[in-house]
Amino acid sequence: MSEYARVRDWRVTQLRKLPNVDIHLDSQVDEAQVLEFGADHVVIATGATWRRDGTGRRLEDPVPGWQRPSVLTPDDIMDGTMPSRPVVVFDDDHYYMGGIVAEKLRSTGIEVTLVTPANELATWTTNTDQQFRIQQRILRLGIGLKTGISIAEIDEGSATLECIYTGRRNEVEAAAVVMVTSRQPHDELYHSLVGRVAVARIGDCLAPGTIATSVYSGHQYARELDTGPVHVRFRRERAVAP
């Protein structure tokens, strides 16, 4: 996903051109510091992290055994943590991340089984015409793919899988389990400032989503800051017979 850095880099370049913008990098800001600024408006865009307990679209409750050290998240993998082999990747996100994590692990020679409750991998990407290519690549890399399957329990060295249709369970070897399910907003700073200053939250801090929705969220806030809600009228394309 390194190509997506352009989404960040272009905006940083444009911001640095503005004489009325100050940028302070690598700066952790707490509640007291925010109040010291004395700003008329405060916007919190502190992002989100992947949940470790397995809750998401399919599972409303944490998976038994999720507290084990062998349970990881995409954040752990991207930070350089490499688990022992073999690995089960549980994808209840249904976008690109499950496949990316599985591919990254496979590239180091680790045996990977990718498990999803959906009937196909990365099913949401049918909206972006990527699903076929993603599943094709995963299979060509020799990654095991189990569809229509959820995860019921995690034990030392194993994971118990469950068919979403029949409830039938079977235990598979798993030195580690990577949970790709849902994300939790970092909104503690926002809640500590509510009622004390004009504060809003945007992006993943408001609602974890795609890169596009985060960009839109920030853009929308900026447009409506001094004007109130902007009502956009959409002109939809319509096929017209010749």
Considering the domain boundaries, does residue 198 fall inside one? yes
52/4: higher pLDDT: 52
- Are 195 and 176 found together in one domain? no
The chain-wide mean pLDDT, for the chain, equals: 94
The pLDDT > 90 percentage for the chain reads 86
Distance from C-alpha of 14 to C-alpha of 19, rounded to nearest angstrom: 11
Distance from C-alpha of 194 to C-alpha of 199, rounded to nearest angstrom: 6
- Are 192 and 97 found together in one domain? no
The pTM score is 0.89
- Locate the DSSP E strands across 110-236: 112-116, 144-147, 149-155, 158-163, 169-173, 176-180, 183-185, 199-201
Give me the pLDDT at residue 84, please: 83
Rounded mean pLDDT of 119-133?
96
Rounded mean pLDDT of 37-60?
96
| Contact criterion met (CB below 8 Å) for 141 and 134 | no
Residue 230 pLDDT > 90: no
Residue range of the domain that includes 122: 49-184
Considering the domain boundaries, does residue 72 fall inside one? yes
- Are 177 and 200 found together in one domain? no
Distance from C-alpha of 211 to C-alpha of 220, rounded to nearest angstrom: 14
- Are 178 and 215 found together in one domain? no
Residue 98 pLDDT > 80: yes
Using alpha carbons, select from 73, 168, 106 the residue that is nearest to residue 160: 168
- Are 61 and 158 found together in one domain? yes
Rounded mean pLDDT of 182-207?
97
